[in-house]
């Protein structure tokens, strides 16, 4: 006679939710050491917390690793309000507070990078270090119309076209998976409205922070910048827009998604820079 024994679920890590937040639920992922310094990841426009790929596992031994789904993205609330940068900063601060995080090392990609910069400006005491991967907000060219066109007409063909623009020449193997992911993300009605609001508000992911660029002199924590040399969506801006003295690494053959296209180079860069 056999006896069925209940097997514990293998998923030791799963999506978690903060309820009672001003705009609705916050979805996040937490792994690593609960008592270690917090390391927080903020993804880019159209992405979600899963876009960090190898970045998360690389830090589980030494950090309390948190990846957030920003409003309008992933499994977090679709309520983005007016989509302003100030709202995104307030939302991030509220989420971190609810997680019991007073200060953290921040890693932000693209729109998440812009939010991270603005968060560091608004709350300098809460950011131990700032690592920016192709961050928005520095000013300079940004191919927003390409993203808007895709949202207006999301088809397998336009998804593949956008995917080919997002990655560099060394990452053609990722095109199929990326296009599928883009199409899935754009295929939800309420999310489309959230994306449109975020795209429509230039202060969120369009123009630079501050009339004359980011006031880097007001950010006291260490800053590192990582950029793909072949990023045509958000190309590296002129040197005067970068944080003076901050290490800048340009990755050859890489486009706008360095953490996905080249994790073997990005994760060690992030790792070595952490305090």
107 makes contact with another protein (CB under 8 A) = no
- Considering the complex, state which of residue 215 and residue 268 has its C-beta at the smaller distance from another protein: 268
14 makes contact with another protein (CB under 8 A) = yes
CB of 60 to another protein, least distance (A): 6
* Tokens read off for 25: 């639920």
Alpha-carbon distance of 1 to 88, in angstroms, equals 59
- Considering the complex, state which of residue 58 and residue 258 has its C-beta at the smaller distance from another protein: 58
Which string of x and - marks every residue 62-91 that binds another protein (by CB under 8 A)?
x-----------------------------
Q: Exposed (0-12), middle (13-18) or buried (19+): which is 148, by Cβ within 10 Å?
A: middle
Q: In what order do the strands lie in the sheet with 38-42?
A: 16-18, 26-32, 64-68, 38-42, 104-109, 127-133, 223-228, 248-251
146 closest CA partner among 123, 130, 162, 127? 162
Alpha-carbon distance of 131 to 249, in angstroms, equals 11
Q: How far is CA 226 from the centre of its chain?
A: 13
- Considering the complex, state which of residue 155 and residue 177 has its C-beta at the smaller distance from another protein: 177
Site for another protein in 164-203 (CB under 8 A): 173-174, 177
271 makes contact with another protein (CB under 8 A) = yes
CB of 7 to another protein, least distance (A): 8
Asked whether the beta carbons of 200 and 147 are under 8 A apart, the reply is no
Alpha-carbon distance of 46 to 37, in angstroms, equals 28
CB of 270 to another protein, least distance (A): 8
Asked whether the beta carbons of 37 and 63 are under 8 A apart, the reply is yes
- The residue from 56, 68, 136, 147 that contacts another protein (CB under 8 A) is 56
15 makes contact with another protein (CB under 8 A) = yes
CB of 239 to another protein, least distance (A): 29
Q: What angle do CA 165, 67, 123 make, to 5 degrees?
A: 100
* Tokens read off for 185: 């993300």
- The residue from 1, 2, 6, 9 that contacts another protein (CB under 8 A) is 9
29 makes contact with another protein (CB under 8 A) = yes
CB of 196 to another protein, least distance (A): 26
- The residue from 31, 160, 196, 250 that contacts another protein (CB under 8 A) is 31
Q: HSE (CB half, 13 Å, CA atoms) of 61?
A: 2
11 makes contact with another protein (CB under 8 A) = yes
CB of 50 to another protein, least distance (A): 5
Asked whether the beta carbons of 79 and 52 are under 8 A apart, the reply is no
User: Which residues sit at the interface with another protein, rule CB under 8 A?
Assistant: 9-15, 29, 31, 50-54, 56-62, 173-174, 177, 263-264, 267-268, 271-272
């Amino acid at each position: 006679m056999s006896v069925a024994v209940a097997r514990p679920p293998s998923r030791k890590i799963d999506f978690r939710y903060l309820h009672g937040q001003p705009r609705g639920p916050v979805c996040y992922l937490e792994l690593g050491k609960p008592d270690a310094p917090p390391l927080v990841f903020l993804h880019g426009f159209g992405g979600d917390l899963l876009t960090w790929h190898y970045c998360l596992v690389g830090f589980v031994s030494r950090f309390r690793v948190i990846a957030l789904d920003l409003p309008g993205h992933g499994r977090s609330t679709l309520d983005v309000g007016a989509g302003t940068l100030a709202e995104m900063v307030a939302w991030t601060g509220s989420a971190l507070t609810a997680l019991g995080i007073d200060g953290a090392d921040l890693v932000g990609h693209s729109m998440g990078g812009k939010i991270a910069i603005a968060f560091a400006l608004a709350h300098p005491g809460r950011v131990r270090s700032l690592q920016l991967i192709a961050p928005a907000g520095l000013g300079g060219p940004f191919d927003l119309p390409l993203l808007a066109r895709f949202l207006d007409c999301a088809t397998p063909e336009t998804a593949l076209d956008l995917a080919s623009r997002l990655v560099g020449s060394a990452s053609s193997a990722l095109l199929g998976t990326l296009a599928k992911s883009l199409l899935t993300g754009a295929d939800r009605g309420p999310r489309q409205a959230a994306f449109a609001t975020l795209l429509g508000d230039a202060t969120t992911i369009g123009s630079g922070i501050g009339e004359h660029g980011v006031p880097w002199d007001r950010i006291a924590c260490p800053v590192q910048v990582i950029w793909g040399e072949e990023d045509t969506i958000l190309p590296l801006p002129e040197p005067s827009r970068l944080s003076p003295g901050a290490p800048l690494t340009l990755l050859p053959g890489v486009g706008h998604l360095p953490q996905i296209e080249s994790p073997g180079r990005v994760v060690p860069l992030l790792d070595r820079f952490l305090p």
